[in-house]
């Protein structure tokens, strides 16, 4: 009798667990890299086609005011994972090759919050948030702490970004396929006088550099930083997207019977743009456009896997980008010469590295068949809101000291309520430049007195700018007409509001 009672209790518990799993949707965040507002056809591009991303936009919510929090990768990724503005924390600028872990163990993240909600979690793709303790990564040992110290059950990573060394995969805590007899060394100085670089062996390169990417050569492309060894672990640039998709589909298949969260961190279309051979020449926009086509294929493969496994109707997909566009970002890949009439940032000025709208306003789409009704939304949402929003969806309470700046905008993401009322933008790291959008008004605060990449149709354009500027985005989306003198009350109010957000140390009450 006791055995029968235990059996009944076990069955009831199992049923309860299955019901709870069914009520919690899977979550996939697909983050593109350097993809601008105008870079996909759903947002107006005509010289490159993105049918798979367009499908998400047509069947889901296409946001016209979707933002990342920074116009460079490391701070945006920091803010996306933690729900806190990166400018509040040290060492959150673009991470160098030997950077230690930027997010400290124990920090609450979107992954750890969803873990608490019963989710399996994985990050597959570009990391660029450092690995290892204060002394940086031990490339030949265990790369701890890393993603698994902040809530991820599994990771398969490009450890930095592919224009920075080393060109190896990291699976969980170790470099994949590393031969102990051929140890990996990574440094900031040339290891020997005869070490080939993009300067000394420029005539051997299959893609030339234009600035700053002229150190160690791998796969015919010179990079930022130096490394030696680890030859069996090295990958080909052309194979990155296939590796991300293969690992992601396999992980989804392994975890299909319980709620899961996958952060699919694409490297497309960051430099060096070297898409797989089957995508080369598939656009009118050089390898940059071909990388967009490759990114679109990745999205299609992930959706195809969800449909094959009958998971699509129980999966929320968020498509976004880590920052706005840039053409010449260090390599001579034809992006400038073949850009023509294409407008990577759409109607906006600036792009990567700037706090103009083109730097942080990017494609942002949510898709959940049967739950989200097709719509185009003007609500303001940001990648920094995803931790708080996903925690709410999973029924997980936010600790007071977590997600300092992210809001629960789940209703806006699902099309049932309003988004946030303001957004702070930054360029890179701490103490740089800021933007504050409130409604139609936009304040720029340039503490550096300089801006970069102001016009994305040219090479990086640096320019002196006034410390403060005020724009009305409804009438001037390109931020050309400074209205500070015309609307002094609004100007002073936004200056004070931005200063308070920065000084308060948090914007979530």
The closest alpha carbon to 396, from 170, 115, 181, 155, belongs to 115
Q: Which residues contact 253 (CB under 8 A, 6 or more apart)?
A: 305, 309
Query: What is the C-alpha to C-alpha distance for residues 288 and 295, in angstroms, rounded to an integer?
Result: 11
d(CA 30, CA 32): 6
User: Per the structure block, which two tokens stand in for 219?
Assistant: 């796969």
Query: How does DSSP classify residue 396?
Result: -
C-alpha to C-alpha distances, 507 to 83, 231, 258, nearest whole angstrom: 11, 47, 34
Distances (CA, A) of 475 to 154, 471, 478: 46, 9, 9
* CA 191 – CA 42 distance, rounded (Å): 47
Alpha-carbon distance of 448 to 459, in angstroms, equals 20
3-state secondary structure of 261: strand
Q: Are 382 and 84 in contact (CB under 8 A)?
A: no
Tokens representing residue 217 in the block: 């050569």
Number of C-alpha atoms within 13 angstroms, CB side, residue 400? 0
- Paired with 170 in beta bridges are 157, 175
Q: Give the sign of the dihedral formed by CA 159, CA 127, CA 24, CA 256.
A: negative
- The answer to whether the beta carbons of residues 129 and 146 sit under 8 Å apart is no
Q: Give per-residue pLDDT as tens, 403-462.
A: 999 999 999 999 999 999 999 999 987 768 999 999 999 999 999 887 876 654 445 566
Question: For residue 451, what are the β-bridge partners?
Answer: 463
Domains of the chain: 20-420 (3.40.720.10), 426-504 (3.30.1120.10)
DSSP letter at 425 equals E
Give the chain's radius of gyration (CA, Å): 23
Q: pTM for the whole thing?
A: 0.94
Please report, in tens digits, the pLDDT of each residue of the chain (509 residues total). 445 445 433 433 333 343 344 479 999 999 999 999 999 999 999 999 999 999 999 999 999 999 999 999 999 999 999 999 999 999 999 999 999 999 999 999 999 999 999 999 999 999 999 999 999 999 999 999 999 999 999 999 999 999 999 999 999 999 999 999 999 999 999 999 999 999 999 999 999 999 999 999 999 999 999 999 999 999 999 999 999 999 999 999 999 999 999 999 999 999 999 999 999 999 999 999 999 999 999 999 999 999 999 999 999 999 999 999 999 999 999 999 999 999 999 999 999 999 999 999 999 999 999 999 999 999 999 999 999 999 999 999 999 999 999 999 999 999 999 999 999 999 987 768 999 999 999 999 999 887 876 654 445 566 778 899 999 999 999 999 999 999 999 999 999 999 999 999 999 98
Q: What 3-state DSSP class applies to 85?
A: coil
Q: Measured between alpha carbons, how far is 422 from 303 in angstroms, rounded to an integer?
A: 32
């Amino acid at each position: 009798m006791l055995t029968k009672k235990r059996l009944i209790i076990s069955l009831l518990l199992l049923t309860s667990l299955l019901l709870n799993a069914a009520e919690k949707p899977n979550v996939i965040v697909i983050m593109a890299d350097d993809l601008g507002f105008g870079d996909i056809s759903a947002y107006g591009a005509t010289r490159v086609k993105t049918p798979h991303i367009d499908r998400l936009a047509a069947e889901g919510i296409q946001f016209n005011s979707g933002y990342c929090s920074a116009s460079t990768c490391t701070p945006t990724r920091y803010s996306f994972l933690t729900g806190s503005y990166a400018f509040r924390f040290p060492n959150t600028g673009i991470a160098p090759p030997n950077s230690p872990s930027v997010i400290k163990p124990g920090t609450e993240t979107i992954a750890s919050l969803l873990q608490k909600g019963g989710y399996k979690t994985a990050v597959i793709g570009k990391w660029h948030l450092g690995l290892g303790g204060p002394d940086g990564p031990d490339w030949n040992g265990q790369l701890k702490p890393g993603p698994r110290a902040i809530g991820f059950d599994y990771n398969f990573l490009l450890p930095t970004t592919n224009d920075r060394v080393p060109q190896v995969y990291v699976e969980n805590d170790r470099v994949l396929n590393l031969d102990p007899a051929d140890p990996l060394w990574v440094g900031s100085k040339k290891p020997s006088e005869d070490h080939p670089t993009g300067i000394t062996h420029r005539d051997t390169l299959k893609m030339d550099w234009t600035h700053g990417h002229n150190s160690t050569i791998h796969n015919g492309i010179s990079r930022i930083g130096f490394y030696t060894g680890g030859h069996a672990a090295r990958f080909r640039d052309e194979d990155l997207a296939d590796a991300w998709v293969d690992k992601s589909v396999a992980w989804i298949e392994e975890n299909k019977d319980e709620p899961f969260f996958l952060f699919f961190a694409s490297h497309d279309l960051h430099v060096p743009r070297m898409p797989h051979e089957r995508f080369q020449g598939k656009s009118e926009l050089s390898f940059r456009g071909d990388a967009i086509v490759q990114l679109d294929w990745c999205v299609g493969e992930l959706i195809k896997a969800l449909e094959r496994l009958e998971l699509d109707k129980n999966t929320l997909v968020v498509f976004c980008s880590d920052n706005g566009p840039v053409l010449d970002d260090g390599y001579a890949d034809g992006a400038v010469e073949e850009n023509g009439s294409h407008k990577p940032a759409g109607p906006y000025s600036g792009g990567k590295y700037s706090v103009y709208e083109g730097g942080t306003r990017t494609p942002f789409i949510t898709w959940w068949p049967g739950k989200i009704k097709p719509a185009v939304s003007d609500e303001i949402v940001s990648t920094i809101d995803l931790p708080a929003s996903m925690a709410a969806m999973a029924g997980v309470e936010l600790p007071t000291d977590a997600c300092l700046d992210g809001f629960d905008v789940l209703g806006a993401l699902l099309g049932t309520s309003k988004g946030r009322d303001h957004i702070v933008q930054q360029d890179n790291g701490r103490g740089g430049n800021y933007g504050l959008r409130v409604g139609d008004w936009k304040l720029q605060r340039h503490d550096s007195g300089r801006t970069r990449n102001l016009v994305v149709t040219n090479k990086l354009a640096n320019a002196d700018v006034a410390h403060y500027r005020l724009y009305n985005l409804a009438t001037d989306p390109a931020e050309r007409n400074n209205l500070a003198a015309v609307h002094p009350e609004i100007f002073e109010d936004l200056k004070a509001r931005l200063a308070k957000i920065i000084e308060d140390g948090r914007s979530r009450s």
